[in-house]
Amino acid sequence: MEETDQEAADAALLGDVRDGAWLDAQEFPPLRWAVPGLIPEGMSLLVGPPKSGKSWLIGNVLLAVAAGGHALGRLAVGSPRRVLYLALEDGDRRMQSRCRIILEGSPIPGLFHYKVTVPPGKVLPVLEAWMRRYPDTSMAVLDTLGRVMPPAMQGESSYQRDYRVGAGLKRITDERPGLSLVVVHHDRKAAAEDFVDAVSGTNGLAGSADAVIVLARRRKATDAVLKVTGKDVPEEEYALLLEDGTRWVLDGEDLRQSAANVERREQTQNLGDTSTAILDYIGRSVEPVRAGEITDKFGRNAAEYLRRLEQSGRLVKPKRGLYVVPSPLDDPELDFDLPE
């Protein structure tokens, strides 16, 4: 039977439809990470207010990946890998100073590359040229998107412009499996109930990204929360500390403990100084703490504070006279393999 033009057109349109049996038989490589649990392969947005420490944060990560150390002082990133930093709000002197502060005097790794200028409209060609020359690049950062964001074309809405720009950046990673591209961007000035809505501009940018990372920090505060979500990333919040206004450190020995510390901060938010101190003291102990030890340290009224903390669920008693801070349930989604 002779195939009609319509049948041929339908076959061309539907030729790549796959079924469940085909999908079930496939073996796909595991997701790769620049920083396990935080920055996956693909295009991610790092969002936060101006002067919140985003550049210090991403500089910390880039130098750790290039040196093969620990990002945020805690998270092992595997062997040294090549990185590119498009630091469009910096110069050579500031870059040198920032790197030396983050590295605390250690040599700046040779696999760390940076560029402080990009011709107008050339950010995609620059990234593509770099990837052709250095296809082993593991991570690239564009800091900031606002420096290269083009105006909307004639007849193009703001959403369409944002999605076009985001899709162009995402294409860089889609064509290069294993590459992590982080795009640094400012947040909205208005508060957002959903942290993904904190991304400045329309939803076109967040919609085109594989992951969104929001740095939430009050001005002059030494603590912050890193909020992470994505298509292949578990949605979670991690506690951070800012040392000397320059060095970001994970608040906890690992991601699981850091996530628990976010909850602990929330628990102590409306507590008085004594209750907070007692909760912190017990939380830092690896063994249950005796009530008498708390009384010796915090005075006779400590028993009343312990009672209130237990009633509110902030403390539990595994045995009579012993107190512990309840541990969060183990989350298998927070177990990650080291990058190769």
CB 240 within 8 A of CB 262: no
List Cβ neighbours of 117 (8 Å cut-off, separation of 6 or more). Answer: 88
Per the document, the length of the chain is: 340
Tens of pLDDT, residues 94-116: 999 999 999 998 999 999 999 99
The CA R_g of the chain, rounded to the nearest whole Å, is 24
Nearest-angstrom CA–CA distance, 311 and 227: 30
Nearest to 235 by CA among 268, 281, 194, 291: 194
Distance from C-alpha of 24 to C-alpha of 44, rounded to nearest angstrom: 29
Given a contact cutoff of 8 angstroms between Cβ atoms, the answer to whether 216 and 224 are in contact is yes
Q: Tell me: the pLDDT tens digits for 196-250? A: 555 645 677 888 899 999 999 988 899 999 999 998 888 999 999 999 999 999 9
Check if the beta carbon of residue 32 is closer than 8 Å to that of residue 339.
yes
- For the stretch 249-257, contacts whose Cβ atoms lie closer than 8 Å and that sit 24 or more positions apart, written own/partner, are 249/72, 249/73, 249/74, 250/72, 250/73, 250/74, 250/75, 251/223, 252/74, 253/74, 254/74, 254/75, 254/334, 255/37, 255/38, 255/75, 255/334, 255/336, 256/328, 256/330, 256/331, 256/334
Per-residue model confidence (pLDDT) at position 27: 96
Given a cut of 50, the residues of the chain with pLDDT beneath it are 1, 190, 200, 329-330, 332
DSSP 195: G
Question: What pLDDT is recorded for position 70?
Answer: 96
pLDDT at 330: 47
Q: What is the pTM of this model?
A: 0.81
Q: How far is CA 176 from CA 131, 238, 242, 306, in A?
A: 9, 29, 33, 55
Residue 72: per-residue pLDDT: 97
